Structure formats: structure tokens, C-alpha cells
Amino acid sequence: MPLAFDSESHGRIAFGFFNIETDLLLLEELFFFARSFCEAAVTLVRSPAELVTLEGWRIGRRQIGNLHGAIAGQDLSGFIGETYRRYPFPLRPEGFRQNPDGEQTAQEMRELVGRFGRAEPLSLARTGGEVQIAEYRFTQQAFSELLAYVEQGGYPRWRDERRPGYVERMMRALGQSVPHSEAP
């Protein structure tokens, strides 16, 4: 489930996984895969590169859908609704865990997100003490909180506390330096 994070450019923003069966992340109206995000973050943090590009999509607000309505099964409109039509919210609370194999739905999600939005290469850039994802600017601390969210599997955390390989590689590459956030 996406959580609220502080940005320098847009105030409080929504960031995170929005369905437990896919590894797509949302950042307001932007969507990108967690694997691409982790790999881009490592490149940005560990190399002299100040700009990395990752595959992404932009969906207009009205086409995104209603997350809470989709979770409840009451509003399956838009991209999020269609995702929940295919992958409904679990009936039992213990089933609410982020699937560490969520990237297996990547091709299906690429096709689906393409029906609702437009492909857009997203920049991940380092400028001074800030990190920018497309037009969203974050302090280094706030960006670390985004990485920590992905590392723990967001809220509700990874199923069986098993992180995907790309998250493990990110943590090793960053020297396990990402602070753990306390998700509710």
C-alpha cells in the first residue's frame, strides 16, 4: 500500500506498491517497476553518474482509479481497478503481504499500464543534496526512506520476509546503509 512521504517539490506525496501481486510502484501519477528503481538507485548512488533513466508510465489522475475502492472491490475503474479485478485484495488479513515474485506479472502489467497511460522515460537524478525522480525532488534522507520502504516490502512487508533478488542486490551495493522506516 502506498504511504505518504515528504518531497521538497510537491509536499506530501504517495509512493509505494499498490497491489501485492505486482512489483509496480506508484509515485503520484507515475508508475515504474521496483527492479528498475532499485537498479537505477544503485547506479545513481555508487557511480559518478548524476542522471539515470528508468522505464516508466504517466497516467492521468482520472485514469488511475480509486485505490481504496478497488481494495474494497467496490470501484474497479481505471488502471488500479483493473489491476484489482485481476488480482483482488486477499480475503484473509494474513494474505496481505507483498509478493516477492511480483515481477512475474511484469509483461502483463506493461500491457495493462499502456492501456491507461503513456510510456515515459523517467529520470532519477542527483543534484546537490537532493535526489529527483522526474519532477519530484527529495532530500537525501527522504530518498533513503523511499529505498527503505522498498527494501522492507512496503506496507504490509514482503511475504515470509523474503526480499526479491534485486532488493538484496541493492542492499549489498548500498552497503546496507538504507535506514529502516517504521511503516504502520
Question: How many CA within 13 A on the CB side of residue 170?
Answer: 26
- 130: which strand partners? 127, 139
Q: Which pLDDT does position 176 carry in this prediction?
A: 60
Residue 43 has pLDDT above 80, yes or no: yes
Q: Which pLDDT does position 89 carry in this prediction?
A: 96
Q: What is the pLDDT of residues 119-156, one digit of tens each?
A: 999 999 998 889 999 999 999 999 999 999 999 999 99
Distances (CA, A) of 60 to 10, 11, 79, 117, 134: 17, 19, 10, 7, 15
Range 9-38 average pLDDT: 98
Q: Which pLDDT does position 14 carry in this prediction?
A: 98
Q: How far apart are alpha carbons 24 and 74 in whole angstroms? A: 22
Q: How far apart are alpha carbons 167 and 169 in whole angstroms? A: 5
Q: How far apart are alpha carbons 119 and 100 in whole angstroms? A: 25
Question: What's the pLDDT band for 174 if we cut at 50, 70, 90?
Answer: confident
Global pTM exceeds 0.75: yes
Identify which of 174, 149, 151, 155 has the alpha carbon closest to the alpha carbon of residue 71: 155
Q: What is the pLDDT of residues 68-94, one digit of tens each?
A: 999 999 999 999 999 999 999 999 989
Answer for the pair 85, 141: CB distance below 8 angstroms, yes or no: no
Answer for the pair 167, 34: CB distance below 8 angstroms, yes or no: yes
